[in-house]
Amino acid sequence: MIVMKFGGTSVGSIEAFAQVAKIVKQKMAEQSTTSHPGVVIVTSAMSGVTNTLIEAAKKAASTGDENAHREIQNALLAKHRAVADYFVKDSTERAALDRLLEERIAALERLWRGIAALGELTSRGLDIVSGMGERINAPLLAAVLRAQGLKTEALDATELIVTDDLFGSAAPLMDLTEQRCRARILPLLEQGVVPVITGFVGATTRGIPTTLGRGASDYSAGIIGAVIDADEIQIWTDVNGVMTSDPRVVANARSLHQLSYEEVAELAYYGAKVMHPKAVSPAVAKKIPVLVLNTFEPTHPGTRILEHSNSEEMGSVKAVTAIRGMNLITVAGRGFIGVPGTAARTFGSVASVGANVLMISQSSSEQSICFVVPELDAAKVIDALHTEFRKELDRSYIDQISGHGNIVIVAVVGSGMRGTPGLAAGIFKAVSEQNINVIAIAQGSSEANVSLVVADPDANAAIRAIHDMFELHKPTAERTGTR
Ligand code: ASP
Ligand code: MG
């Protein structure tokens, strides 16, 4: 039994829907010969739809114009109807689909008008609006697949994934979610029905719609796959799996056959766009393989994500990625030396303004601590630190609180770095040969990642140099030396 998640571009056009139908039919046929058959689909909204929904809500709130959404509303109707026109010829099916589409669009219209009247957009309101793309698309995809001869049923994850009420990035309550998913999904599979489930959304125990975070349909697939004990979770996207680096930066980047859960989580965290950072986490405890596959080149093997990847035996680096638009903040002074609590106060200030810390580095002399936050948050973090340490600044226990803008974290990832001496040396040799100044360094205690902070104009050269040094353009087994 497999879970197949289709991303926005995989359901972005008539041609893409046709591709999806072909792939699902083939998987259903393959599954029928297994001992534990079944296909569960998780779908994103059609590409661009979520952004459009959010844009309309923001426009309504800022202009107060109760008709600001009109054009968007018509475009949404047309976009989904074009798919229905092409595939859904049965008149009863089509009438039911039209009714549903109109109902959901009418609900959106009421919401947008309400937001305009109030002149305010709450995070709870935004979640109801932004999840509607999936809640339109799942019934549409289910109808398209039925028109292609499959038995399907659309399911709304607001009835399956139970979450807390952290609107905008809600967390699943796994026990309740497991009960509901198993009760609803497993009987369908026994009848040979393909459930087509909305990604991205959930609801609180009281039934209030939530979303799991932007791009989180992958996470939905991970959650559902884990609670129903799928044999495999497939993430269908528009590229051939996870690559050794961004092909726009490194011309000879290639797709990776294997990655470990740990490696893919590091990569996603450090900006590789291919998957949501939380997507694999529910699969880890049950050791369910996660595959990243290309809807538009379905015979490509893509990337298989497992508990252990081959890089561990090979002692090798897997990939190099970058996260841009960052700021490196330094807090320094003798107030740090042997004074417990200074670091806690530093990160307390960062947390108090809701900023996310992506990397931390402290020199062993304890004279300073530096950490990386998104550029957008830098000014408020620095303000908060000035307030927190006002006394220490007055007494010169702390003499520097400063930001260094326009920086990039270059992250080198591979579980095989653990216990392999010389890899870090290789990384620094690669960048120093290009005369690139490394501003800060950090290694996670997992040793699956070494991160370098460099100035933005140096980032691409650093990435290429590291990619070359470790011969990442070659399959792992073909590389020379221990690297
Ligand atoms: N449609 C949602 C978004 O654009 C979720 C997803 O595509 O994964 O964020
Ligand atoms: Mg996505």
Q: What is the pLDDT of residue 445?
A: 65
C-alpha of residue 399 to centroid of ligand 2, in Å: 44
Q: What is the pLDDT of residue 482?
A: 44
Q: Angle at Cα 97 formed by Cα 93 and Cα 99, nearest 5°? A: 120
Q: Which of 207, 238, 269 is the last residue in one of the domains?
A: 238
Kindly state if the Cβ of 237 falls inside 6 Å of ligand 1: no
Q: Residues 287-310: pLDDT tens digits?
A: 999 999 999 999 999 999 999 887
Kindly state if the Cβ of 213 falls inside 6 Å of ligand 1: no
Q: Are residues 183 and 84 in the same domain?
A: yes
Q: What is the pLDDT of residue 127?
A: 98
Helix axes 132-147, 70-87, angle to 10 degrees: 20
Contact 242, 272 (CB under 8 A): yes
Kindly state if the Cβ of 214 falls inside 6 Å of ligand 1: yes
C-alpha of residue 418 to centroid of ligand 2, in Å: 31
Kindly state if the Cβ of 45 falls inside 6 Å of ligand 1: yes
Which amino acid residue places its CA nearest to atom 5 of ligand 1?
215
Which atom of ligand 1 is the closest one to the Cα of 216? 8
Q: Are residues 187 and 83 in the same domain?
A: yes
Q: Are residues 194 and 330 in the same domain?
A: no
Q: What is the pLDDT of residue 122?
A: 96
Q: Are residues 214 and 359 in the same domain?
A: no
Q: What is the pLDDT of residue 388?
A: 96
**Reduced DSSP (H G I as helix, E B as strand, rest coil) percent helix, strand, coil of the chain, to 5:** 45, 20, 35
Q: What is the pLDDT of residue 269?
A: 83
Domain that holds residue 169: 2-238
Q: Are residues 128 and 217 in the same domain?
A: yes
Q: Are residues 31 and 156 in the same domain?
A: yes
Q: Cα(327)–Cα(311) distance, rounded to whole angstroms?
A: 31
Q: Which two tokens stand for residue 195?
A: 């459930």
Q: Are residues 325 and 230 in the same domain?
A: no
Q: Which of 238, 258, 277 is the last residue in one of the domains?
A: 238
Which atom of ligand 1 is the closest one to the Cα of 215? 8
Task: Name residues of the chain where pLDDT drops below 50.
Answer: 482-483
Which atom of ligand 1 is the closest one to the Cα of 214? 9
What CATH number did the domain enclosing 402 receive?
Answer: 3.30.2130.10
The identity of residue 433, as a single letter, is E
Q: Residues 398-415: pLDDT tens digits?
A: 999 999 999 999 999 988
Which amino acid residue places its CA nearest to atom 8 of ligand 1?
215
Which amino acid residue places its CA nearest to atom 6 of ligand 1?
215
Contact 279, 286 (CB under 8 A): no
List C-alpha distances in Å: 303 to 239, 264, 288, 289, 426: 10, 10, 14, 10, 26
- Provide the domain count of the chain: 2
What CATH number did the domain enclosing 59 receive?
Answer: 3.40.1160.10
Kindly state if the Cβ of 215 falls inside 6 Å of ligand 1: yes
Which amino acid residue places its CA nearest to atom 2 of ligand 1?
215
Q: Which of 190, 223, 238 is the last residue in one of the domains?
A: 238
Residue 424 in any domain: the answer is yes
Closest CA to 246 of 269, 266, 264, 273: 273
Q: What is the pLDDT of residue 483?
A: 43
Return the ligand number nearest the Cα of 212. 1
Residue 420 in any domain: the answer is yes
